[in-house]
A and B are shown apart, each in its own frame.
Chain A
Amino acid sequence: MSLRMPAPKEVQPKSFKFNKANLDKINFIISKYPSDRQASALLPLLDLAQRQNNNWLPLEAMNEVAKILSIPMIKVLEVATFYSMFNLAPVGKYLVQICGTTPCWLRGSDKITEACKKKLGINYGETTQDNQFTLMEVECLGACSNAPMVQINDTYYEDLTEKSMTGILNDLAKGKKPRKGPQSGRKGSEPQIIKEA
């Protein structure tokens, strides 16, 4: 991973305003903290901003959050650049985050990656031309018992094979909603009977 900085000026929107629904949510979030500890609401507010703005966080949104919480802009920037879940540049409609940490890797995450790259025609960190998919490698997402796995936007897809991975991408591209969770027929992470070949 290298230093993540906000996207260049050309990409940044001119302004950002929270919509009505989010403003109500903000009031609720802030009310959860003591009155002189408003700055604690920084992470949930940035998350709201990212969700409202097609899954990425522009500078103007950080400014807006800084204003709402009356904290200096640099403090917002520090947090936004620290947490890799904040996307600082535009991403596709589906953000495919492939886990490449040891358990997933041992269970074949390399093959899953290859399948994605082949299907989408892009590399890590790139977005398809139709702005549908962005591919990203991430560290452990905590679902090792169902390795290998990917997270697409807010959903986990687990127990993947190359075939099921391609299937999920196909479904998403067609606007269908693939089954979430384990793709192997398991309900959760119960022991899997491995048939001796």
Chain B
Amino acid sequence: MIKLLVDGQEVEVEEGSTLMQACEKNGAEIPRFCFHDRLSIAGNCRMCLVELEGSPKPVASCAMPASEGMKIITKSSSVKKAREGVMEFLLINHPLDCPICDQGGECDLQDQALYYGRGMSRFEEDKRAVDNKPFGPLIKTTMTRCIHCTRCVRFMDEVAGVHELGAVGRGEDMEIFSSSPSGLGGELNGNIIDLCPVGALTSAPYAFKARPWELDKVNSIDVLDGLGSAIQIGSKDGEVLRVLPRLNEDINEEWISDKTRFAIDGLKNQRLDVPYIRNSSGNLQKCSWEQAFQLMANRVSKINSSEIAGLAGNQMCLESMVSLLDLMKSLNVDNLDCRPRNSNMPISHNNKASWLFNPTIRGIEESDLILMIGTEPRYEAAMLDARIRKVWLKNKIFIARIGGGAKSTYPINEIGNDPSIIDSIYRGDHSFNKKLIKSSKPLFIIGQNIFTRSDSIGILGRIREIAKKHNAFNDKWNGVGILQNTANIVAGLEIGFVPKLKTSLNTNKILNNFENGKIKFLWSLGRDDLDINNKNADSFLVYQGHHGDKGAELADVILPGSAYTEKNATYINTEGRVQNAYAAVSPPGSAKEDWKIIRAFSSYIDKTLPYNNLEELRNRISEINNGLTTENFLIKAENNDIGDPKTSLLKEEITNEKLNFFMSCNISRASETMAKCIITQQGK
């Protein structure tokens, strides 16, 4: 520890700290533009000047290492004068167009100019003007406003790993420049909007929509991938206008992916805002809730429970899944599933380890070797991919993959697609074993595509045995992670929204039987991944959800539900972390919160579910698992006995899901911004 004096008070900081950290520890507020906690130190804005005894000139506190006995003054008039000088220079070429700048109201330059700016400009020469740059469909540039802090350059280089931004020219003529004329690559671009301390980089889809003080802000979570990143939803006049990241060290640190941030315009398109029923001519027709329920009740009353099935989509909230589960239970229906078609993910609660990302996202940073099997984290979980890059950048760990896929922002050693490689590693005669032996915390990431294989149990079992042999299971480390790429499938598995008995039908069989008429009533809770080819005339499909996507096309009744920004709901991410989303706006038209729809139907058919409000429903949920109503509760697997190594492997090559990052769910598919991103990506 180093002791030094800040404004006359003794402060103790760790070795390697900067003066800025020492000053902040003493409660002094140091203004800054270029410095950012999570980026490398540039020291080029000079706004953080402090007085250091013995130094003839003020020093940049962000870049000066603290050492024993230093005496720093942060509040003297000379410090203020020095910062005022810096500010005056920064403002020389800044256009001061705050009234037409989207950053206005949340601009670091604006805020700090209030304290350090002069009332008048002394600059009489011509201001410089800079051409705007093509940063893609997400980022609007007004480069004349740029103050050259280079935060965007450092973010893209370090965190995003896309080396396309740089500063060309020098001195006054320096410009931030992209070497790719078709916009930036990668999935994390949007974060440079937040990083930009001025209005040089602003959100293109949000341009001129609202001022920050006009927005109603709600802290919530994202459901467009399996991670549940912390977000803040900003809305105005009942419309979600923007999404910003919130700090959550366990998941997204302080970044979010472009899909999380920009797919929200999909919440306005193709919404189901009134109930529909299919009329005699085969067209969907608007109706009242009463009519819809009547038709459904009519159907249900005529068939027996084995002819009814329920499928839950994996973007649906825990509350609606539990309600549907309870409703189906009251009807004695066992044909329930929440897994994708063809997925044979184990469902037993003894097997929780086979559907959780056991090492946790934060845990990735501890691993010293990564083997990915059938997954492309870059597209399936962009923020998790950023964690992998972070640990690679820090420790240059070895990362290998079986099953191939897109390149990412760290080198991946593709060791092949043949399942026999897993066998070979299992036997210990693969070249990868040499790396494994040296590893003390290996991490195995298993993608969803593995579960579409009939030998998935065999693969899991072998990975388990390999992991066991190589330090992957102990008190402090569980190195086998199943990467879910949808928001709430873990909740479905946790509450048991799965085939109850051996004889109950799974997704595949439910759909086959629905096609051939054996299942006569199918309640699809937001399932958009169903490919129903020929619907039997006797079969009746209820689609409950918020978007008129694939799932609603064939429906006989459509019940309009609400999206994640429109309800207070619980989601459980791939790690098993329980998190709450909060309503920012109300559902459109006569759409309702999903659990209420199910509750209303239950009373319509006299099977009233025993909860009248969200609190009572959550009490019911806590009966399943007390933790499910506790924010940030982490579901943990009790054992690691996943799979069975005795099952032999197929010859068929291992692949990944080939997920389209920008359009992976009904919300992002309805988003124009995401469509633009795809066009840009194809042009690259």
Chain A residues packing against B (C-beta within 8 Å)? 1-5, 72-75, 77-78, 81-82
B607 interfacial by beta-carbon distance below 8 Å: no
Q: Mark B170-186, 1 if CB is under 8 A from A, else 0.
A: 11011101110000000
Roughly how many angstroms separate A25 CA and B163 CA in the complex, as a whole number? 28
A-side contacts of B170, CB under 8 Å: 81-82
Let me know if A81 and B163 touch, CB within 8 A. no
Residues of chain B lying within 8 A (CB to CB) of residue A77: 166, 168, 177, 179
A5 to B169 CA separation, bound complex (whole angstroms): 8
Q: Which residues of B contact A1 (CB under 8 A)?
A: 171, 173
In the assembled complex, which residues on chain A have CB atoms less than 8 Å from the CB atom of B171? 1
23 contacts across the A-B interface (CB closer than 8 A): A1-B173, A2-B173, A3-B168, A3-B174, A4-B169, A4-B173, A5-B168, A72-B163, A72-B164, A72-B179, A74-B163, A74-B164, A74-B165, A74-B166, A74-B177, A74-B179, A75-B166, A77-B166, A77-B177, A77-B179, A82-B168, A82-B169, A82-B170
Shortest C-beta distance, A179 to chain B (Å), equals: 35
Q: How many Å lie between the Cα of A159 and that of B622 in the bound state?
A: 92
Q: A residues within 8 A CB of B659?
A: none
B532 at the A interface (CB under 8 A): no
Residues of A contacting B679 in the complex (Cβ-Cβ under 8 angstroms):
none
CA distance A73 to B178 in the complex (A): 10
Determine the distance from Cα of A74 to Cα of B169 in the docked complex, in whole angstroms.
12
Q: Is B167 in the interface zone, CB < 8 Å from A?
A: yes
Interface magnitude class on chain B: 10 to 19
User: How far is B177's CA from A78's CA once the two chains are assembled, in angstroms?
Assistant: 9
What's the nearest-Cβ distance from chain A to residue B158, in Å?
13
Measured in the bound complex, the distance between the Cα atoms of B175 and A74 in whole Å is 12
User: By CB atoms of chain B within 10 A, which of A77, A78, A82 has the most?
Assistant: A78
Query: From residue 133 to 187 of chain B, which have CB atoms closer than 8 A to chain A?
Result: 163-171, 173-175, 177-179
- Chain A residue at smallest Cβ distance from B130: A3
CB of B166 within 8 A of CB of A78, answer: yes
Name the distance in Å between A70's Cβ and chain B's nearest Cβ.
11
Q: How far is the CA of A5 from the CA of B170 in the complex (A)?
A: 11
Other A-B pairs, 6, CB within 8 Å; known A3-B174, A74-B165, A74-B166: A2-B173, A72-B164, A72-B179, A77-B166, A77-B177, A82-B168
A11 to B173, alpha carbons, bound, how many Å? 23
Closest CB in chain A relative to B128 CB, distance in Å: 9
Given contacts A73-B179, A74-B179, contact A3 B173 (CB under 8 A): yes
* CB proximity of B170 to chain A, nearest CB, Å: 5
CB distance from B684 to the nearest CB of A (A): 14
Name which residue of chain A comes closest to B157, CB basis.
A72
Q: How far is the CA of A75 from the CA of B169 in the complex (A)?
A: 12
Q: What are the 10 closest A-B residue pairs judged by CB atoms, nearest first?
A: A72-B163, A74-B166, A74-B179, A3-B173, A81-B168, A3-B169, A78-B166, A82-B170, A73-B179, A81-B169
Complex CA–CA separation, A73 to B167 (angstroms): 12
CA distance A196 to B557 in the complex (A): 109
Q: How far is the CA of A5 from the CA of B165 in the complex (A)?
A: 15
Which residues does chain B contribute within 8 Å of A78, judged by CB atoms? 166-168
Minimum Cβ distance to chain B for residue A86 (Å) = 12
Closest to B131 in A: A3
* Minimum CB–CB distance for A76 against chain B, Å: 9
How far, in whole Å, are A77 and B181 apart by their CA atoms in the complex? 14
